[in-house]
Every structure is written in C-alpha cells, then in structure tokens.
C-alpha cells in the first residue's frame, strides 16, 4: 500500500444553514458564509483529515476499504422468475421513475462527517433513505424497501465489479427465485433495468449477455457487454455502500475530457433529459435541458448553461437553476430549494474537497 505525504491546511469546512421557510434566496455566498460554522475546531479538524495516509489510487484499485463478509443471504422467493416479475415489475419502474440520480450526495455526507472530526477513511457512507435524489446505491436500497413493504419480497444488495478487478463500481438488486435470479439494475433506461437469468445458463440479449450461477451463490450473475467488457455481481458484502460510494467519489471528478459528475432527472422513456453536471476540477456547473428543441440555425441558449463557482459566489445560481426547473418538460423530483442549498454547500467547501484530491489522494 502506498502512502502520501502529510499535508495540513488552515481552511475550515463551512456548513450552510438550513433553509428558512420554503425559500432559499440567491444572496451572495459570502452573506451565507457569515452565519456558517467556521471555528478553530473546524480548522483543527481540517488539518487532521488532510493527513490521512491513503492515496486515491488505493481506493480506485479496491485496496481500501476492503470488502467485509455480510450476514448471509435472505430466503429465496418461493416462486418462479416469471411469477416474481408479474408481481414486482410495476413497483420497480415506479420507484426508479420517481427518483433523480444525485452524484452530489456522497460529497455532502463526507463534508458533514469531516466537520464532526472524522477523516475521509473513517467516514461512513450509508445510502439508505435517500428520498427525491439518490445514487445507484441509494436507489437499490429504495427498491429493496419497496419490494419488502409492498410485496413481502426479500432481495439483496448486489455490487458490480469488472471480472479480475477488486474494486466495486456500481450497485443493483438481485432476487433469487426457485428457477434462477432476477437482476434489478438501477439504470435510467427502463429497458435495461430488469433481467431474468436462469440458474447455470446464459441469457443473450442484443446489448448484453448474462450467465446465472448455481442457487445460493455469492456471485450469482456475470455480465458481458457488447464491447466484451465483463462484470460480476457480488452479494453478501456488508460494506457495499462504502465500497461503491468511495470509488465513485475518487473516480467521477476525473472521467473524460470534460470531467464532471451528474445530477440527473430520470424519465420513463429512459432519457436523463434534464441534468446538472458538477465539475470540481473546472469549478463550474453545466445545466443541460434536453426537453427543449434548438431554434435552428441558432442553438437555444437554455439548452446548455455554464455557471462558474465564482458566479455562484456572486449569487447568480438560484435564478438560473429555477429557469432550468421551469423551462420545457417537468424535471427534477428534488425540490428546487433543497438542490440549491446542496449546490451552495458544495461551492462553499469546494477548496476543501480539492485539497482531498490534491494533497491526500495523489502520490
């Protein structure tokens, strides 16, 4: 395991206040910060967690945290896969279509725990109870909860990794039946959510091939995509939330030529037609509205709007965010004021997050 040089910062974490009544005004960030917690204790905390001896590469490799064995698997569903799907398919789609993907939540949870004096590695990532906006892990927990509450069906959280690699990158739900497995994947496209996989057989679809293992397996399903990338879904892992979430946090801000992680509204047709892309490296948000058409030959200015963290600090976010919500088709299930506060909290602490990447998780 590689270690990183210790580094200390005097920057304090900033905790924004809860919104008053139902409206959060778009006042300059400095005014909000004046009522935030910014104390010597926070600065001491900051110095403490910045010395965490762990590289970003260790997390991406899956070296830390290590998977922990869970308490075992639930009792299988007593009927067939077809019987199960006739019972639960509507619930799965309804649950997914009423959630937004929110890649911002893990960073906010981390900041709250750093403020309490925990290091990044000590911080826990529990994705249960994420209501209007969620991650793939939180969505999986929401599906599990709805299956049990509405149908008495016990499934298990399954986490996906590339075959031959230790790092877990995605979460889903698997229910074992008496003739195979049902995979409930947390994808925006409803045609790519539900898969029926018999025991010890291969199921081939136009875009994916799935192989079911024997009954009671802790690696019940393997998946091969059309591009030949191969994955396995693993169950009975006690710290699944933390494994997937921390990998996402260390990977998402650096992917591609324009690195950013999304906050996306899911639609029944599978399109994430309204989305906000958060770029920590470029210190900006990109608001994307795919529900309105371009005015040819001129691009509609509401389709793509960039707003820098500097502009957000000057109080320019709320009106643009409100316009994204109200222009074109309906969008986010996350309330406007709630998402605005989340984004403001991120911007207030953006430099502290960048310190994690720059001083701790790079060799």
Residue-by-residue DSSP string for 51-75: T----HHHHHHT-SSPP-B-S-PPP
Question: Residue 115 in contact with residue 15, Cβ under 8 Å?
Answer: yes
- 303 preceded by a cis bond (ω within 30 of 0): no
Q: What is the pLDDT of residues 187-243, one digit of tens each?
A: 888 989 999 999 999 999 999 999 999 999 999 999 999 899 999 999 999 999 999
What span, in angstroms and rounded, lies between the C-alpha atoms of 293 and 343?
27
- As a whole number of angstroms, the distance between CA 325 and CA 273 comes to 12
pLDDT tens, residue by residue, 149-201: 999 999 999 999 999 999 999 999 999 999 999 999 998 889 899 999 999 99
Task: Measure the CA–CA gap between 146 and 183, rounded to whole angstroms.
Answer: 15
Structure tokens that stand for 257 in this block: 């030529």
The residue extents of the domains of the chain are: 29-55+247-360, 81-241
Find the mean pLDDT for residues 283-306.
84
Say what the pLDDT of residue 15 is.
43
DSSP designation for 329? S
pLDDT in tens, 11-26: 344 444 444 333 334 4
Which residues face 95 on adjacent strands?
Answer: none
Per-residue pLDDT at 65? 86
> Mapping DSSP to helix (H, G, I), strand (E, B) and coil, where does residue 91 land?
helix
Query: Distance (Å, rounded) from C-alpha 199 to C-alpha 211?
Result: 8
CA of residue 141 relative to chain centroid, distance:
12
pLDDT exceeds cutoff 60 at 43: no
Pairing of strands 100-102, 133-134: parallel
Query: pLDDT tens digits for 319-337?
Result: 999 999 999 888 899 999 9
> Angle CA(359)–CA(138)–CA(195) in degrees, nearest 5?
120
pLDDT bucket at 297, cuts 50 / 70 / 90:
low
For tokens 């990109």, the residue is: 286
Round to whole Å and give the CA distance between 127 and 145: 12
Rounded to two decimals, the pTM is 0.83
For residues 69 and 237, is the Cβ–Cβ distance under 8 A? Answer: yes
Backbone angles phi, psi at 293, to 5 degrees: -90, 155
Query: For residues 272 and 266, what is the distance between their CA atoms, to the nearest angstrom?
Result: 5
Q: Which burial class, exposed, middle or buried, applies to 214 when counting CB atoms under 10 A from its CB (0-12, 13-18, 19+)?
A: exposed
Q: Quick one: the chain helix, strand, coil %, rounded to 5?
A: 35, 20, 45
Say how far apart CA 85 and CA 75 lie, in whole Å: 17
In the numeric block, the tokens 């725990």 are attached to 113
């Amino acid at each position: 395991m590689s270690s990183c040089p210790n580094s200390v910062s005097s920057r304090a974490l900033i905790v924004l206040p809860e919104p008053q009544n139902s409206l959060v005004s778009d006042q300059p960030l400095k005014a909000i910060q004046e009522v935030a917690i910014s104390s010597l204790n926070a600065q001491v905390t900051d110095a403490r967690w910045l010395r965490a001896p762990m590289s970003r590469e260790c997390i991406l490799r899956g070296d830390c945290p290590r998977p922990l064995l869970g308490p075992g698997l639930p009792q299988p569903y007593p009927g067939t896969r077809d019987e199960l799907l006739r019972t639960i398919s509507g619930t799965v789609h309804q649950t997914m279509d009423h959630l937004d993907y929110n890649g911002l939540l893990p960073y906010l949870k981390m900041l709250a725990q750093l403020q309490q004096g925990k290091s990044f590695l000590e911080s826990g990532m529990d994705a249960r109870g994420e209501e209007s906006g969620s991650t793939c892990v939180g969505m999986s927990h929401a599906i599990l909860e709805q299956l049990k509450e509405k149908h008495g069906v016990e499934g298990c959280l399954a986490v996906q990794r590339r075959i031959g690699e230790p790092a877990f990158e995605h979460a889903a739900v698997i229910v074992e039946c008496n003739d195979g497995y049902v995979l409930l994947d947390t994808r925006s496209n409803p045609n790519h959510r539900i898969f029926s996989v018999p025991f010890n057989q291969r199921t081939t679809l136009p875009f994916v091939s799935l192989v079911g293992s024997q009954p009671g397996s802790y690696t019940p399903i393997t998946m091969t995509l059309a591009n030949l990338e191969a994955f396995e879904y693993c169950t009975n892992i006690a710290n699944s939330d933390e494994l997937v979430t921390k990998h996402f946090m260390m990977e998402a801000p650096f992917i591609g030529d324009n690195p950013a992680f999304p906050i996306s509204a899911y639609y029944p047709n599978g399109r994430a037609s309204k989305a906000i892309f958060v770029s920590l490296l470029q210190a900006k948000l990109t608001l994307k509205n795919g529900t309105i058409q371009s005015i040819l030959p001129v691009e509609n200015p509401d389709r793509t709007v960039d707003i820098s963290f500097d502009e957000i600090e000057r109080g320019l976010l709320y009106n643009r965010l409100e316009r994204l919500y109200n222009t074109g088709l309906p969008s986010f299930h996350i309330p406007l004021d709630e998402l605005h506060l989340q984004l403001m909290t991120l911007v207030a602490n953006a430099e502290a997050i960048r310190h994690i990447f720059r001083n701790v998780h790079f060799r």
